[in-house]
Amino acid sequence: MIEVKKKLPNGWFFILLHNKCEIRIMIPDIKNYDFKTGLPQEFEIVDLVELYNEFKDTLTTIHRTGFYHIIWFQKSHPTHLVDFNPIRIKPNSLLFLNKDTVQRFDNKTNFQGKAILFTDSFFCKTEADTKFLRNNILFNDLFSVSQIQIDKQSNLFSELLQQMRDELQNEKDNAQADILKNLLHNFLLHSEREKRKQNFVELKKDANLDYVMIFKDLLERNYKTQKQVSYYAKEMFISEKRLNQATSKLFGKTSKEIINDRVMLEAKRILAHTNESVKEICYSLGFEEPTNFIKYFKKHSAITPIEFREKNSVA
């Protein structure tokens, strides 16, 4: 058999087999990026124009980062893609992205702004810090992606940002990390205040919310290997019925539906943004056989994994 391959723009390959011509889409894997090494702190403030000029190809390709983003879009109306959801940005708005979010910057619209980048290691010095970051309404993925308008408070946020930039210019000492963390904490508190003013529906802080938060953390660590409600209820020392009561009260979904949503999100990410075969995806997500995964996927999306990939891989 004679096979001739020629790489075309955008990662496509032209493949000739005997007298048959076939076009195949070769999808690049999701790139994973850790925080930049060599900085005094795992905290950085970057200018979006400068970042875009230097790393446009990286930013405008689907990628995942192991750290948090606060993106201040100061001018223009770009569209930011977050897990298949196009977020339409308004000028002078803040966008909050949790760690490990799959995202892509707009490659057609020029925009200006700043981004604050930081890690768990930087912010979470105490148990209280960890609880604050997990439970706040900005990075909590129980809700939709947080975007707030700060037109009336732009001077306040500008001052806080400048204080952080000034501190980064100082030589690193024993106080720098605490000063930066405290300034960032204030930035987040003011952001939460603004979020609550902008049609945010507050969830009642009760046992249901506590159970859901614990469930969410357990699920994020175990969804690839544990897909039964019984496992999570046992780990939380509560009954399956009580866990279902909590998730149904807050989200109108059973615990099993939330587990399925998380598994399906990861399956769709891999299908749309990588070249992994259905068999490889099946095993990576903890399914014993490809047929089981295909049935599961079709049950929860009404189409097969391959059909989903064909519809979404070129978007």
How many domains is the chain partitioned into structurally?
3
Looking at the structure, do residues 137 and 227 belong to the same domain, yes or no?
no
Whether 52 and 74 have beta carbons less than 8 Å apart is answered as no
Looking at the structure, do residues 188 and 237 belong to the same domain, yes or no?
no
Q: SS3 of 197, please?
A: helix
Count CB neighbours of 72 within 10 A: 20
Looking at the structure, do residues 138 and 158 belong to the same domain, yes or no?
yes
CATH number for 230: 1.10.10.60
Contacts of 231 (CB under 8 A, 6+ apart): 222
- Kindly calculate the radius of gyration of the chain based on its CA atoms and give it in whole angstroms: 22
pLDDT of residue 269: 87
Looking at the structure, do residues 75 and 16 belong to the same domain, yes or no?
no
Give the model confidence (pLDDT) of 235-269 as tens digits.
999 999 999 999 998 888 999 999 999 999 999 98
Pairing state of beta strands 63-65 and 31-33? parallel
Q: Which of 56, 153, 156, 165 is nearest to 111 (CA)?
A: 56
- pLDDT in single tens digits along all 315 residues of the chain: 444 444 433 343 433 444 444 434 444 567 888 888 889 999 999 999 998 888 888 888 888 888 999 999 998 888 998 887 888 998 999 999 988 888 889 888 888 999 999 999 999 999 899 888 887 889 876 657 888 999 888 899 999 999 999 999 999 999 999 999 999 999 999 999 999 888 776 677 789 988 998 998 899 999 999 999 999 999 999 999 999 999 998 888 999 999 999 999 999 988 988 888 999 999 999 999 999 999 999 999 999 999 999 887 644
Among residues 166, 197, 228, which one ends one of the domains?
A: 197
Residue at 202 is within a domain: no
Looking at the structure, do residues 114 and 161 belong to the same domain, yes or no?
yes
CA–chain centroid gap for 143, Å, is 12
Looking at the structure, do residues 65 and 189 belong to the same domain, yes or no?
yes
Whether 268 and 312 have beta carbons less than 8 Å apart is answered as yes
Looking at the structure, do residues 42 and 147 belong to the same domain, yes or no?
yes
Residue at 72 is within a domain: yes
pLDDT of residue 47: 93
Range of 66's domain?
34-197
In the chain, beta strands by DSSP E? 3-7, 12-17, 20-25, 31-33, 43-47, 63-65, 68-75, 79-82, 85-88, 93-97, 102-104, 112-118, 146-149
Give the model confidence (pLDDT) of 283-296 as tens digits.
999 999 999 999 99
| Rounded-to-integer distance, Cα 5 and Cα 94, Å | 45
Looking at the structure, do residues 56 and 130 belong to the same domain, yes or no?
yes
Residue at 249 is within a domain: yes
Residue at 191 is within a domain: yes
Looking at the structure, do residues 99 and 212 belong to the same domain, yes or no?
no
CA angle 20, 26, 27 (to 5 degrees): 155
Residue at 215 is within a domain: yes
| Rounded-to-integer distance, Cα 299 and Cα 88, Å | 31
* Alpha-carbon torsion angle 56, 59, 61, 62, nearest 10: 180
CA atoms within 13 A on the CB side of 216: 16
pLDDT of residue 143: 59
Looking at the structure, do residues 225 and 247 belong to the same domain, yes or no?
yes
Pairing state of beta strands 85-88 and 93-97? unpaired
Residue at 160 is within a domain: yes
pLDDT of residue 313: 66
Looking at the structure, do residues 148 and 38 belong to the same domain, yes or no?
yes
The two three-digit tokens of residue 273, written as one number: 């943004």
Single pTM value for the model:
0.76
Buried b (16+ CB within 10 A) or exposed e, 136-145: bbbbbeeeeb
CATH number for 98: 2.60.120.280
Looking at the structure, do residues 168 and 63 belong to the same domain, yes or no?
yes
